[in-house]
Structure 1
Amino acid sequence: MGFLSTVFTSFGLVFLSHAVYSAYEHSLLLSSASSPASSASSSAIDLPIDVILELLISTLVTCAGIVLGSPQLRPIQWSVWAGKVEREGRKPGAWEEGVGNPFRSLDERLGFLDIRAQRKQFADWVRNGQGAQSKG
């Protein structure tokens, strides 16, 4: 979708700049044709319908291009996001792209106990029957 979003955004911006230029030229044309006394009393300038339509359509096309090019949204709820991060883990270069676990460095601090690994070791130890043998 990268190419399509770039095309939409580019065409939208070109037509938006043309519409703004047309509105500016139209306002200059009306102000130079009228006398200074009448232009002071009339502050509103009526734009032609084609300029207004070009402004609206180019704005919509530009917005569509920006939305098509945006990355996938992340979940809003903390528990959903944390579960997704836990399942996927951290991929190489993932944090630079704005995804991944930002608290991974806290989980992997040296000198601190890894509780999850110890729980897994204990569960494996109990499953293998070593816990039942030591009781006697």
Structure 2
Amino acid sequence: MGLSANVLNILGLVFLSHASYEHSLLPSAAQAPPQSSILPSVIDPNINLPIDVVLETIVSVLLLCAGVVLSSPDLKPIQWNVWAGRLERSKDARQIKGFGQGGGNPYAALEERPGFLDIRAKRKEFAAWVKDGGQGDKVQ
């Protein structure tokens, strides 16, 4: 896969450089092109490029695009559930070690703010209360 992508990139660069070389050889303003009957005069580009230069440029850009896409590394799947599960299981990963250092829970500041309700802790308290048969302290 890598070799064919490199070949496509090289071919695209060769064709693009050839098209730009041919464009540079064109006379600058030897003859004005005819006015377009389709486009209004305001947006008519008045450029007289030979069709072979235009086609060669388009083909070279398509070859370069295909070569770049094929030569890029494979995408890795986004697995937020794996990352979040690792954070939940590891107390060390949840602690922020310092400013700008890797690791740490990016949401720790939200979870540790005053008035934050820890649902899991309340669920454990409720399960313990149900096991006791509803006796004792009431869950708040």
TM range (shorter): 0.3 to 0.5
TM-score by length of 1: 0.46
TM score, norm. by length of structure 2: 0.45
User: Which structure's relative contact order is higher, taking Cα pairs within 8 Å and 6+ residues apart?
Assistant: 1
More helix by share: 1
